Structures are given as structure tokens and as C-alpha cells.
Structure 1
Amino acid sequence: MSNLTSELTTAAPTADPGLAAMVSDTRFVIQRVLTPMVMLVGVIGNLVSIIVLTRRRMRSSTNSYLTALAVSDTLYLAISFTLSLKHSVPGISHPDFRIYWHYWPFGLWLIDAASNTSTWLTVTFTVERYVAVCHPIRGQVYCTESRARKMICIVYLFCFLVTLSTPFEWEIAERLNHKTNSTEMTAEFSELGMLDEYRHAFYVFTATMFIFLPLVLLAIFNSFLILAVKESRKQRAVLCSGESQSQRQENKITIMLISVVIIYMLCQLPHACMLVYLAVTGEVDSWTDEFQVRRILGNIFNFLMAINAACNFVLYCALSDKYRKTFLVTFCRCWYQPPAGLPSGIPTAYSNVSDFSRTGSPRSSCSKRSSVRSQRSLNGARGASVRGRTGSPPDHYLGVPGSRGGDSQGLLEASGGPAPAGGRGGPRRARPPRLPPLPAWLRFGRDGKARRHNIVITTPDGSQEEGVTAV
């Protein structure tokens, strides 16, 4: 990776003045104009994504991967901007900038490691999404936040360790420029960097592990995801005359991740093709026209990789409703007022519905015990009405819209249907209309007094909310 970058960007004399001028113009436009703009927009967008994706209501295994991807992309953009100063700042080769030149080999290592980390994070969340969509039962076990954090740590450690030899491929020296009769700082290959066996082995390993293998895996699993989304829409169009809200949210998340992968592949494929071409043709002399063409293409392909690291924020805003709402609540609170969790005009009914947690977090144990107590209280209270007759209301209850708030209110069985209004031997009243399914926002109470429960609720898009307060 670093050898390719050096070969494509290091200046050399050419026999064709037109190509030399094109190289200079391309470098000026990309490294002095476009790269700083993309870096600024990308860093700000990735920092915003990190803040939004780490909000409590956005927590999920998929968002953990996207947060880690935003971190690696931010590192890539920042380091690539510092490396571009070598060709964009006049007089930077002066010995006064000695600190920058000693940093430069380590900058190559960081940029390679960050790029490789972004690559394998894209692969891991694509595989995770494939398991969650195509094998949902296994996804309940494997697609958890704790496993996502472990995989993120493994990917970061692996990518940074396998590229650790990059700084040792270079050595910084001071050389006399005979044209200007002044001393200049320069980066040259060290003995390790000039060792043919090492260069060949490292080149084959990085090209296979960080470019070709990820592209093949992404193409395979992305195809499965696209087919799964199409099949899901066809089945629900036939059976249910449309998609449910939860399935619609799942498909939106999948489509967003598919878009991230497609953009990545489009930006990485030119670089992969260049690597194949270099492997077949080998190195050329620096004074040839082909070398100048390689430098021009290298600048363009490196800029495409910078665009890929900066554009994910735009995709999240365009394709994720929850991301947009969380962004507005976090950064535009003065202009955006989120809808209330439970409008006062909507009546409530009582239900003994157990909460659930997709990730199997230990924090859900309290909510499960609370649901058990709620069910016992409801079973004991079924002989009396909730309001207007003898007996007491259920000890714990969930407020849901759909019943009438004036007189007595219906109890829901564990299956979701209404329970009898009277006792076992009492008169049976007319069945109230079936209540709608429980929404994701649930409010808990006890005897009309506000109370806070440690309950984790998983919303249809996979995020979690906890600590719901009673009304």
C-alpha cells in the first residue's frame, strides 16, 4: 500500500512536457483544492455521526460498527491531509520542517491501517446484516452489541499490527540539491524497503487481504442482502398487502448498509485494478510517459478513497429516518420539537405485556421480573373492573392507545385479546374492540403515581431505550 502510494505520487522528470504539466495541474487541483474541502466536510460529518450514533436511542450492533467506521474514516482523512502537505506546501523540504519529515513514515502507517480498518469493518457489518436478515434466529444470538464491540477491537488490532512494518520501510535523510545549492529533507527506502523478498511478500499479502478478498466477500454478501430485501417485499405484498412498520424499518437499515457497501466498492475498484496492472507489468522507469500516467491516476484514485471516507454522513441522512430525527434532536433542539411520547388526548388501556431485549443484556432481567409481577397482578385483578367497580387496578400496567378513557377500560390477555370484564361467575359485558398492537413507546405506572422502571425496550429498527418513566 505504502509502496504504491509512493510510486504514484513521488515526483520524477519526464520526457514529455505535456504530461509533466498535467501531473502538476492534477496534483494542484486534487491536493490543494479538493482534498482540503473533502477532508473538512468528511471530518465534520464523521464527528457528527459519532455523536449521533452513540446516543442512547441509537444503540445497536449495527450502529456500533458504523461508529467504529466513522472513527477510522476520520483518522484516514486527517492523516491523508497531513501527508498531502508534502506536495502542496512550498519549502516544506527545508530542514526547518524536520519534525514533519520524521512523522511522515508513521503517517503512511496510520493511513494504511485506517484504510484497512475501514475495509474490514465494512465487511464485518455486511456479514452481520446478512446473518440478521437471512438467518434471524441465529441473528438473535450473534448480532449483539457485545459481540460487535469484540469484533471491532479485533479488526482494529489486526489492521494496525499487520501494517506495523510500514514506517521501517523508509528513512529520512538530508540531501544537497545541486540546482538550488541548498539542503533538503527527503524520504528514501531503507534496507527493509529495498529488500525484494519483503516487498513482494508484503505487496501480495496487502493486495489479497485488504483489497481482493474484501471485495469478493462484499460482492457475495451484498448480493444476498439485495435478494433478501426484494423477496421480503414480494412476500409481504402478497400476504399482508404491504410491509409492516418493523419490517419497513429493517429494510431501510439494510438498504442504507447496501448503499454504503456499493459506494465503497465503486471507490475501491479503480485502486484494485491499478494493483492488478502493476502486478502484471511491474515497475517502470521514472522518466517514462507511463510513469507519469500512473502518477495522475494515483492522485485520482487516492481522491476517490477520500470521498468514500467522507460521504457516509450524507448516506445516513438521506436513507435513515431515525438518524435524521436524532440529529435534529441533538443539534437543532431549538428549531425541532420531537413528538410527545404519549399525547394527552389518546385514552389508555391496561395490559400485561412482557418487555423484551434483542441483545439479551443483563439489564433486561429487572424488566422481566417487573413483567412477571405485572402478569400476576393482572391475573389477580381479572375478577374486578379497573374503574367503577369493586377491586383495585393492576399493580403494574402499560399505557397503550386505543381504548376509551371515560368509563371502565379493558384488560388485555397475554395473547393480546381483551379479558372478561366480570369475575368468573359474574355477568359478561360486551367485548370491547380489539386494541391496536403495542407501540415501541410504552409508559408504566403504579396506582396512578409516577414510577421509574429499569426496562429495556428494543424498537423495530434495532435500537434500545431504557429507563421508561411512568405517567
Structure 2
Amino acid sequence: MAYPIVWQIEDVFYPLISAIGVPVNLVAIMILSRGNCGLSKCITHYLIGMAVADLLVVVFDAILWITVPIYLPHSFVKITPVCSVLSALRSAATVISVWFTVTFTFDRFVAICYERLKTKCCTERTAAAFLGTVTVLGCLESLPWYFAIEPRYIIDNIPWGCTHKQSYYSSPGWTAFEVINYILTPCVPCFLILLFNVLTVRRILVSSQMRRGLRGQKSAEKHKDVEMENRLKSIILLFSISGSFVLLWVTQVVYNIYARITDIRYYNSYTDPCFITDRTAKMLQLLSSCTNTGIYAVIQVKFRQELKNAMIYPFNQIAQAWNKWRV
């Protein structure tokens, strides 16, 4: 039987995502932590949190869960206890990453639409509290995945392999857990992100009309509205991050709903459209963990400058060392 084309794509895609995802998220964390990007501490906290969560998704899911088993099928990650831990960690990283995006969207929604709440809710302390709460809840939600795994075989008293227990497919408890898990991540987050963005757009349109009416057409033409310009930058960042997230996750959401309704558990062949859709949705999902740094670089001028400085820093150091050596 010919090697399925989807698997051939995955054999290249996941190592590539692993090779790209780690450095870009590390660079984002480093640059944002310096605090020189012209962003508020509140926004910076959320962006750093999202970059850390995306980095963990790449490490636990793309690298240890997928890439390593592809190229090292008999490595330590296939030992059942290790595999069980990775199953819980990859789920926790994904849940936390998704809900960090929701909290960031909610924070920007409050900041743009509710000026009175902005000073109380959109603060560094509140951001830390939200991120910490989401992290704890995400880990608790993902903990049951550790107990869903059993070994395929035993070699020298060491359990190897990683497969779901038989009770996972027959127990009402596991069925309920799986449904709740799919609802909480990513169905509810996608709905909330879309809802907050729609309400934000509605508020922006109303606010813009009111401000133009108050300032007058001539006044608006002669003077720049600094507040609206700053708000526009924040809106572009918000819509870019949340829009990218929704676009890359929508296939996963739609397919999960369809698979649950039609009760798809097995595929007829490797050319089955459902099989191809499922594997494609997973690749798009992991791609979402590598896009935010590119968004920052495109939108944020100061982030772009910091990135440029970081890239030329090693060459500057080498040039200085060379000049000292020559002297």
C-alpha cells in the first residue's frame, strides 16, 4: 500500500512547525519582556502569556507528541507513563493557549467599549490574575487525560505504547468528559472571541459617528484625533490575533461538531475525506501557535525595530570583538 499523502505532508509539516515555533515564540517572549514595544503593561502581560503558552504547545504537542515518535518510534516518549504525562500536558498547553486568547480579547473589548471599567479591569494585576486562573483551570481540566491511557505491550516489565483504555470508548463518564472538553476548547472560545469582536466593532462604529459629529467635519479634517489613532492600533492588533486564531481553528471546530453528530470513530481509508479533514484541522491548529510573532512584526513598528536589533546584535558583537582583536 502506498504511503498516504497526508502522512507524507505531516512528516515534513510537524518538524518544520517545531523548528519554527520554538525560536519565534522565544524571540517574542524576549522582546516583549524588555517592555520597549510601546504597549501597556497589561497588554504586554497577555502577549507574553500567549507566547509562553504557544511555546509549550509546540514543545509538548508538535515536538514530543508527534515529531519525536515519527522519527524516533522507540524513544522514551513511547513509555506509557511518559506518554500519559504528555497527553495531559499537551491538552493543558492547548487549553491554556486558547483561553489566553479569549482573556486578551475580553480585555481589549472592555478597554475599547467600557471606559469606566478600563481603569479597574485593564491593569497589570488583573491580567496576572486572569492568566494565573486560566493556567490552573486549564491544568485541572486536562488532568483526566493522564488516566485515559494504557500500554499496548510490556517489555522487561516496562509498559510501552500509548492507546486509550477500552473504557474510554464505552464509559458514559469518558463520553461526557470528551464532549465537555470539546465544548470548552475550542467551541466556546471561538464563540466568545467572535462575540467580543462583533460587540467591539459595533461600539467602534457608534463611537466614531459620535466623535465625528462632535468634532465637526472641518475640524476632523484639520486635526488628528490622537485617541482614535491609538485605539485603532489596539483594534488592529486585537483583530489580527483573534482573526488568525479563529481562521486556523474553524476547521477543527466544525469537524469536531460534525464528527460528534455523525458519531465518526473509524475511517474507511486514508483517502476518506473525513480522515483528511481531521489531519488537516490538526495541522492548522498547531500552525496557530506560530503566527502571533509574525503579526507583531507586521503591525507593531517598535516590535519590528526590537526584532531587527536582536537579529543584528550577534553580528555587532562579532564586529566589535574583531576590531578589538585587530587592535
Higher relative contact order (CA 8 A, sep 6+): 2
Distance 1:291 1:191 in 2: 27
Q: Does 1:110 find its partner at 2:110?
A: no
Percent identity over the alignment? 20
1:109–1:163 contact (8 Å) kept in structure 2 = yes
Stretch of structure 1 that moved more, 35-44 or 214-223: 35-44
Cα offset, 1:152, TM superposition: 0.3
Q: Secondary structure of the equivalent of 1:163?
A: helix
Does the C-alpha gap of structure 1 residues 100 and 116 become closer, same or farther in structure 2, counting only changes over 3 Å?
A: same
1:122–1:261 contact (8 Å) kept in structure 2 = yes
Q: Deviations over 1:419-450 (max 9, x none)?
A: xxxxxxxxxxxxxxxxxxxxxxxxxxxxxxxx
**2:175 corresponds to which of 190, 195, 200:** 200
**1:303 corresponds to which of 283, 298, 304:** 283
Higher radius of gyration, 1 or 2 = 1
Distance 2:306 2:209 in 1: 31
Cα offset, 1:230, TM superposition: 4.2
Distance 2:71 2:194 in 1: 40
Alignment of 1:40-51 (within 5 A): 40-51=19-30
1:138 alignment partner in structure 2: 117
**1:282 corresponds to which of 239, 243, 263:** 263
Cα offset, 1:282, TM superposition: 1.0
Query: Which one-letter code corresponds to 1:206 in the other structure?
Result: N
* TM-score with structure 1 setting the length: 0.59
Cα offset, 1:161, TM superposition: 0.8
Does the C-alpha gap of structure 1 residues 175 and 130 become closer, same or farther in structure 2, counting only changes over 3 Å?
A: same
Query: Which one-letter code corresponds to 2:165 in the other structure?
Result: S
1:172 alignment partner in structure 2: 151
Q: Which has the higher helix share?
A: 2
Distance 2:251 2:148 in 1: 25
Query: Which one-letter code corresponds to 2:142 in the other structure?
Result: T
* RMSD after superposition: 2.8
Query: Which one-letter code corresponds to 2:89 in the other structure?
Result: L
Cα offset, 1:296, TM superposition: 2.3
Query: Which one-letter code corresponds to 1:314 in the other structure?
Result: G
Q: Secondary structure of the equivalent of 2:162?
A: strand
Alignment of 1:450-465 (within 5 A): none
* TM-score with structure 2 setting the length: 0.83
**2:133 corresponds to which of 154, 160, 165:** 154
Distance 1:79 1:300 in 2: 19
Distance 1:175 1:263 in 2: 44
Q: Deviations over 1:247-278 (max 9, x none)?
A: 31331122111111111111111111111111
Q: Deviations over 1:175-225 (max 9, x none)?
A: 79xxxxxxx943232355344212211122112212221111111111122
Distance 1:146 1:289 in 2: 52
Q: Secondary structure of the equivalent of 1:165?
A: helix
Distance 1:280 1:133 in 2: 38
1:285–1:291 contact (8 Å) kept in structure 2 = no
Stretch of structure 1 that moved more, 299-308 or 188-197: 188-197
1:189 alignment partner in structure 2: 164
Alignment of 1:302-451 (within 5 A): 302-332=282-312
Q: Secondary structure of the equivalent of 1:164?
A: helix
Query: Which one-letter code corresponds to 1:53 in the other structure?
Result: L
**1:249 corresponds to which of 219, 226, 230:** 230
Query: Which one-letter code corresponds to 2:193 in the other structure?
Result: L
**2:64 corresponds to which of 71, 82, 87:** 82
Q: Which has the higher strand share?
A: 1
Stretch of structure 1 that moved more, 73-82 or 277-286: 277-286
Cα offset, 1:284, TM superposition: 4.3
Cα offset, 1:62, TM superposition: 1.4
Cα offset, 1:333, TM superposition: 5.6
2:54–2:290 contact (8 Å) kept in structure 1 = yes
Distance 2:42 2:19 in 1: 28
1:39–1:306 contact (8 Å) kept in structure 2 = no
1:72 alignment partner in structure 2: 53
Cα offset, 1:236, TM superposition: 5.2
2:168–2:175 contact (8 Å) kept in structure 1 = no
Does the C-alpha gap of structure 1 residues 67 and 258 become closer, same or farther in structure 2, counting only changes over 3 Å?
A: same
Query: Which one-letter code corresponds to 1:89 in the other structure?
Result: Y
1:52–1:323 contact (8 Å) kept in structure 2 = yes
Unaligned runs of 5+ in 2: 317-327
Distance 1:319 1:285 in 2: 43
